[in-house]
Amino acid sequence: MATIEFQQIFKVYSNGYTALKNLSLDIKDGEFLVFVGPSGCGKSTALRMLAGLEEISGGKLLIGGEIVNDKTPQERNIAMVFQNYALYPHMTVRENMEFPLKMLKMPKAERQKRVIAAAEKLGLTNLLDNKPKQMSGGQRQRVAMGRAIVRNPSVFLMDEPLSNLDAKMRVQIRTEISQLQRNMGITMVYVTHDQVEAMTMGDRVAVMKGGELQQIAPPQELYDSP
Ligand code: ADP
Ligand code: ADP
């Protein structure tokens, strides 16, 4: 079952620049799909569009069989983790993770249950009372993911989540993200310019170039393009 469908999607920015040209692809339920390509190829635009942060200039975007072109980010059951973590520095890990649930006016008991469950999945149980500045880059990344998963989204979006980490941490978090995605059975759409990351993490890889989809295939079936 396809949970996400890009149907002939175009993005033309207000300055006239066409960032996505006729993008069509399906993402299956529970799949780990990686958009890869050089800077400027349109991969973040595609992801922001999914999140509802970017107007669609042409084509149709479907989530769970429903056209979402005009739906707000809040109306889509999607969580996005940003590159720069965007944690609140004055809040503890617990408060950071609880915050989006407060915004939803969820009762306190349910909020606490969700935070504890997410912290267990992410190995953050012993760090719940820490502030972000007391933590490593990798730990902060996990908190950012925790804050996203407490809402039990059906789709998870990540844009270059490892780019602020050193090489060793990148490999470690890469593995953690893959495991977390498999444990939760959640659909993941992941953006990176790093081909190794794409090949090791993705069930399928969508290779973008100049706003166009070059190929989409499982890593072992990708062919080299000049
Ligand atoms: P609007 O507020 O009309 O939707 P946009 O969000 O499309 O405007 O961006 C406003 C302007 O900022 C654009 O016309 C563009 O020139 C510039 N801009 C913003 N981000 C970028 C970017 N990543 N690359 C190039 N230009 C950009
Ligand atoms: P990537 O994530 O692959 O680096 P993006 O999706 O961020 O690429 O951007 C694709 C292209 O669209 C780039 O050439 C970028 O400069 C341009 N762009 C992005 N945002 C805007 C904007 N708001 N206005 C104009 N051009 C933009």
Q: Which position has the token pair 């706003």?
A: 211
User: Is residue 207 within 8 Å of 222, Cβ to Cβ?
Assistant: yes
Q: Which position has the token pair 């649930």?
A: 101
**Backbone dihedral angles phi then psi of residue 157, each to the nearest 5 degrees:** -115, 135
The first and second tokens of residue 189, run together, are 């759409």
Between CA 80 and CA 149 the distance in angstroms is: 9
Residue 43 CB–ligand 2 contact under 6 Å: yes
- Whole-model pTM? 0.85
Residue 16 CB–ligand 2 contact under 6 Å: no
- The pLDDT mean for the chain works out to 92
- CA-based R_g, the chain, Å: 18
CB atoms within 10 A of CB 148: 21
Residue 126 CB–ligand 1 contact under 6 Å: no
Q: What is the DSSP string of 140-187?
A: HHHHHHHHHHTT--SEEEEESTTTTS-HHHHHHHHHHHHHHHHHHT-E
User: What value of ipTM does the predicted structure carry?
Assistant: 0.76
Could you tell which of 11, 12, 14 is best to mutate to test the pocket of ligand 1, judged by most ligand atoms within 8 Å of the CB?
Answer: 14
User: Is residue 98 within 8 Å of 111, Cβ to Cβ?
Assistant: yes
pLDDT > 80? residue 79: yes
Between CA 168 and CA 176 the distance in angstroms is: 13
User: Is residue 27 within 8 Å of 188, Cβ to Cβ?
Assistant: no
In this predicted structure, what is the pLDDT of residue 84? 60
**18 Cα–ligand 2 center, Å:** 9
Residue 15 CB–ligand 1 contact under 6 Å: yes
Q: HSE, CB side, 13 Å, CA atoms: give it for residue 150.
A: 27
Enclosing H/E stretch for 124? none
Mean pLDDT value across residues 205-210: 98
Enclosing H/E stretch for 5? strand 2-12
CB atoms within 10 A of CB 38: 10
pLDDT in tens, 134-154: 998 778 888 988 998 898 888
Measured between alpha carbons, how far apart are the two ends of the chain, in Å? Answer: 33
CB atoms within 10 A of CB 207: 21
pLDDT > 60? residue 226: no
Higher pLDDT pick, 71 / 182: 71
Residue 88 CB–ligand 1 contact under 6 Å: no
- Which ligand 1 atom lies nearest to the CA of residue 14? 7
